[in-house]
Amino acid sequence: MVTQGPLGSVHDAAQRAADILALLLPRPGYQPEPDSLAQRAALTEVLRAHGEPEPIEISAADLAGLRWAAAELRAVFAAPDVGSAADLINGLLAGRAHPPRLTTHGGTSGWHLHVDGSDDAPSGEWFLTSSCLALAVLLAERQASPAGICASPSCGRPFVNVGRGSPRRYCSAACGTRERVAAHRGQARQGAVKG
């Protein structure tokens, strides 16, 4: 079972969601293996990197619940605008979130907020509700979509959008640069053919 500990910030919880979606969901050039030991190990590392306390043990039921939650959350990351993202988050929280509560998991962590049913809630419920809560806070703070899916046709990786200014289209500068170079080369080829 995933132990559901605290995170350092709302951004950390949203980034954890993006990292888990990237690991559990298919995208261009990446097809996750169903319930492989390697994928469970990679998921353990993602959770560890985001502050989940040891021991991190992921059962087949945990993995199935996390996959289900990741598939549900993908729609929020793919939302075309802030209103759509808000509607999706509200819909996901409406049927699954419980009243907010503070917990220390029996004194094993610092106080933090949960909206899942209990400290022993299924992993999928915990992941979905904690991720939606983080994305909702980011949306409210920025008044913009909190996340996105990389627009590069060869990538499709989910990302958290916390910057100011224009909405991001790419998960990284590398993907943005690769797409700009490809567009420039395509325009140069078209110019050469016309010339």
- Residue pLDDT, tens place only, 38-95: 888 999 999 999 988 888 999 989 999 999 999 999 999 999 999 999 999 999 999 8
pLDDT at 92: 97
Mean of pLDDT over the chain: 88
Residues in the chain: 195
pLDDT at 152: 93
Q: What are phi and psi of 114, to 5 degrees?
A: -130, 150
Amino acid symbol at 180 = R
pLDDT of residue 150 exceeding 90: yes
Instruction: Measure the CA–CA gap between 133 and 52, rounded to whole angstroms.
Output: 17
Q: What are phi and psi of 162, to 5 degrees?
A: -115, 0
Strand partners, 102: 113
User: Which residues are CB-contacts of 174 (< 8 A; sequence separation ≥ 6)?
Assistant: none
Consecutive H or E run containing 119: none
pLDDT level of residue 193 (50, 70, 90 thresholds): low
Give the pTM: 0.86
> For residue 170, which of 157, 183, 189 has the smallest C-alpha distance?
157
At residue 24, the 3 state secondary structure works out as helix
Strands, E assignment, the chain: 101-103, 112-114, 147-149, 158-160
pLDDT level of residue 173 (50, 70, 90 thresholds): confident
Average pLDDT of the segment spanning 112-119 = 89
User: Which residues are CB-contacts of 30 (< 8 A; sequence separation ≥ 6)?
Assistant: none
pLDDT level of residue 191 (50, 70, 90 thresholds): low
Q: What is the 3-state secondary structure (H, E, C) of 32-92?
A: CCCCCHHHHHHHHHHHHHCCCCCCCCCCHHHHHHHHHHHHHHHHHHCCCCHHHHHHHHHHH
Of residues 9 and 153, more confidently modeled? 153
